[in-house]
Structure 1
């Protein structure tokens, strides 16, 4: 956000109308939206209002999506609710710049849907009066969302500012399997080489050696890929739990006895990086892990020639799914065995917000609340019963003929592409949580943290300071960790690495997170 805020303001003002002409101006409301009093809004049931109204919402559209106006969820929900939504769509590439421009020019829509607002953005635009507080509206007009926030208090604490306001609501994921990357191992290779599923990091090392040298694909060539992961430091997140390192508060933090610890310079992190360096040097870890694309990584999953990798579901290797099985985290050198790579229940922060020009915030809150129910989430994710999906024992499943062309699913739902404001529960997760994935999640469940704390909401001044500190620290950590893993620098430089982190004020950053955590406990 910082690199765009305040930059090229003159050009911002000049060019805003080129792609945001569909938004409201700062001086008035959308003329198509009649004035609606609170008495005109039905607190429960449908329609939400008796007289149809229009709302304009700015949204991100993913490359896989079709136009929102053609999605059955919005067509059918308009008939049900009497609320017509005109979506102002911005492609994923360039979305952040357009969102920045929207606020900088004060050319505001009525709401932002799938908006990906950061904590700093919500506080900044809320304090500026461009976003309105939602806590009162939630209490009165969002029974589904309020119920979830009461059931999972960490949701409320993760989206409430220090001043007690909620300026944006998240996507909510109560299904554990939708918040974790599973650990998938090639069971066919294990069986052929007469190996057991590895339980420790040492056993994993030995299994990877066997995958490299034992010709488990049987072609007489040494062409197997023992282990891979998404590009960059995702491998650190995937393996950190085996070294006692958690990912709390949206950062590299473990919490012990209510003490916040940023672990980047810790001995346990050094131990993990040394282990990953060993795997990399012996070609047990993908040599392209810092260079391959997402598409290339997914292709490796589906090739059947990979021994071990990480992914949330099995969609990318369905044709060879019987070849793989999900396994538990590994016990590390100190006996740690944690599933650290798990997202909070409030998974997609800042997914929806209402602006100050909206003449009908009560209607808008009721409109979005529907998607935090199983019924509304089913409509959003699956479309029309009989046409796109069928119910089996109360659970919606896409029809086989509909899924013959996999792109069909992405065309009918804003869920595809991520970040949509709605509920992901067991009720609506048949596509991403089939039996094989459920079994893989069951292997992780005993090692999941009791509470996954979301990134805290700082006041704007503190958020600015956190961003400044993290910009430097995160970049340095990523650069140096990559070099440690590939062997570009040796571990004799570790003290120098620690010293540099101290000079970058990592202790000050830790204190800011500690203060935020302490407030959460009150």
Structure 2
């Protein structure tokens, strides 16, 4: 099974490389201006003892780290991984743990005051922030350090060219490192369908939008949970708790059924060499009309637009949803056998695709070194361990024989004391690893993802594989001026599209107003935004 799984990943990755490898052309630019002078690899003490091996330094070294932590994460000073890693490396890291809800404010403050840590960890730096603070000199360029002191990350870049494309700016610099994910099952959300309800009602999995409506109505009216109440939730998808962001999962999950893709991590199709932002496309209108039908028939979770992730997870664990989306089956592990992977339904124009997936540089800006760091070489070696097989397993699972062991397939699995804890994720996070909360700088791969992707999740991914786009372009890295323009336009456009789309879906805005909606987007310079994305695509094609 593992060999088959690896082959599936290799095929998918090769397809991605075939097109996205050209993104490395972004590293070429007539702008060769370096950022202001920063800490360098000059001789000073302490220094790396070698480019490989442990300890990293010949003399004790203390560094300051600022990191974002999840609500259920334990204090960094108590984590087994950090304490063990200090012994291994000779580097003591003083960590400032900042809760997620206050991290953006704290991050902005340290940059504004220039009271910087030596490095950021799980930093949630945006592409524009990274470029801004990199060109100002507060974040140092990393490409030379990677070349000399990061053999693991360098090897990943060689194996997956899209990594370099996703982190190197047009000025040729890399200012931050991402989380690297090479397990396809971790890049694609799943469509979990309640097979127990289908069996009880004598139904088959829906294959078209019309069949889906029939099935959802049966979920609504047929009392499949058997409690005599009309309390079933036919359909729901993961909410976007940040309502200002363009993360509209209800739209995204059905986009492929209407011929709509999500290229460049945006509402974008690429058709015959042309980039089309489809917010004004008639196919999008048809998608919204379909969702409006689902809403009017009370087939969509009535709390979709207002619920939090915590509320959504609670609904998953109840087993009272007919179809819903989530990346794995961990939250509903106790009833996981109730659900199977559904297929994307075929839309009215014959389209049957699944557009939602991430690039392998799944989380941008998780790690960065600042210009106050006197030992960037040692710091780069410190983080690089987590991009190798041994180190990436260590940071997720801890110490072999103490907190984890390898199974027959060579995958890391927690020992029973952790794995059988009523809340295994919380126990692991609070006592062992910074894993809790995700999105931290390391390599997630097939040998260390068992906590995330069990065999049922892997099998579910195989169901989706035939419906995925052959080519997936990640977030483009524009130059600073263009980035600011894109951000300015998208702030207004994305908010407007989201708000108006929600109104179309719930019926607060009649579809007779569609032309007004399109005209407003034109006034908001949606066409100009489309030309910016087109120029990125054209540049990539010219560098083939």
Shift of 1:450: 3.0
- Does the 8 Å contact 2:46/2:59 carry over to 1? no
- Segment of structure 1 superposing worse, 279-288 or 138-147: 138-147
1:149 to 134, 146, 157: 157
Q: Does 1:474 align with 2:483?
A: no
Shift of 1:194: 1.3
Q: What corresponds to 1:387 in structure 2?
A: 402
Q: TM-score, normalised by structure 2?
A: 0.87
Shift of 1:257: 3.0
Q: What corresponds to 2:532 in structure 1?
A: 512
- Unaligned regions of 5+ residues in structure 1, if any? 1-27
Q: What corresponds to 1:5 in structure 2?
A: none
Q: What corresponds to 2:54 in structure 1?
A: 46
Partner deviation per Cα, 1:252-274 (whole Å, 9 max, x = no partner)? 11222332211111111111111
Q: Does 1:408 align with 2:423?
A: no
Q: Does 1:498 align with 2:518?
A: yes
Q: Does 1:437 align with 2:452?
A: no
Q: What corresponds to 1:322 in structure 2?
A: 337
- Segment of structure 1 superposing worse, 120-129 or 251-260: 251-260
Q: Quick one: distance in 2 between partners of 1:461 and 1:298?
A: 40
Give the length in aligned residue pairs. Answer: 492
- Does the 8 Å contact 1:244/1:268 carry over to 2? yes
Shift of 1:151: 1.7
Shift of 1:165: 0.7
- Unaligned regions of 5+ residues in structure 2, if any? 1-37, 241-247
Q: Quick one: distance in 1 between partners of 2:466 and 2:235?
A: 24
- Segment of structure 1 superposing worse, 439-448 or 497-506: 439-448
Shift of 1:400: 2.7
- Does the 8 Å contact 1:158/1:453 carry over to 2? no
- Does the 8 Å contact 1:345/1:452 carry over to 2? no
Q: TM-score, normalised by structure 1?
A: 0.91
Aligned to 1:93, what secondary structure does the other structure show?
Answer: helix
Q: Quick one: distance in 1 between partners of 2:202 and 2:50?
A: 65
Spell out the pairing of 1:294-443 with structure 2 (5 A cutoff): 294-393=309-408, 394-403=410-419, 404-406=421-423, 407-411=426-430, 412-443=432-463
The change in CA–CA distance for 1:515 and 1:427 in structure 2 (over 3 A counts) is same
Spell out the pairing of 1:2-41 with structure 2 (5 A cutoff): 35-36=44-45, 40-41=48-49
The change in CA–CA distance for 1:375 and 1:451 in structure 2 (over 3 A counts) is farther
Shift of 1:298: 0.8
Aligned to 2:265, what secondary structure does the other structure show?
Answer: coil
Q: What corresponds to 2:26 in structure 1?
A: none
Shift of 1:37: 7.2
Aligned to 1:249, what secondary structure does the other structure show?
Answer: helix
1:61 to 63, 69, 74: 69
Q: Quick one: distance in 2 between partners of 1:46 and 1:79?
A: 10
Q: What corresponds to 1:71 in structure 2?
A: 79
Shift of 1:208: 0.6
CA RMSD of superposed structures (Å): 1.8
- Does the 8 Å contact 1:157/1:520 carry over to 2? no
- Does the 8 Å contact 1:231/1:289 carry over to 2? yes
Q: Quick one: distance in 2 between partners of 1:350 and 1:499?
A: 36
2:120 to 89, 99, 112: 112
- Does the 8 Å contact 1:173/1:425 carry over to 2? yes
Shift of 1:378: 0.9
Q: Does 1:484 align with 2:499?
A: no
Q: Quick one: distance in 1 between partners of 2:142 and 2:50?
A: 18
